[in-house]
Amino acid sequence: MLIILLIGLGGLVYWQFGDQLLDFFTSSTGGTGGIDTKKPVITNVTATAGETNARIDWQTNEPASTQVEYGKTQQNTSLSTLEDDPTGGTSAGVVTHSVTLTGLEPSSTAGNVTYYYRVKSKDKAGNEAVSDWKTFETAVPEA
């Protein structure tokens, strides 16, 4: 709520503006009325796996950080290094994301090795989006 006090002609004039007008003033002047509370939208998540590595790619609708959570189960995971983090001020973030995971266990003729993964992206305001869990299988080494 915005309250303006005007003093003139020896009297006190009290003016009160509603929230709607306040939102107009703050958003049109760059004030705090336009605080970003929306998470980035994650799309086009794909995995391309080799024998001991996998590349995870995705896109966001706004500049955001790049990170992948992965493991052989959803309960026992690792996090890739956080990259392109716009919350620290050292990066503006990116909209096209790519992470290469290394040191993975290769599949074998005795059975495939499945990895679970999900991607994470955080915008400048700190709103974090997390994709659904997906899977990929590593390749069998060529003989």
How far is Cα 42 from Cα 53, in angstroms, rounded to an integer?
22
| pLDDT tens column, 109-120 | 889 999 999 999
DSSP string, 63-91: EE-BEEEEESSSSS-EEPPPBS-GGGSS-
- pLDDT per residue rounded down to tens, the chain (143 residues): 445 444 554 444 334 444 444 454 444 344 455 788 899 999 999 999 999 999 999 999 999 999 999 999 999 999 999 999 999 888 999 999 999 999 999 999 889 999 999 999 999 999 999 999 999 999 999 87
From CA 6, how far away is CA 122, in angstroms rounded? 44
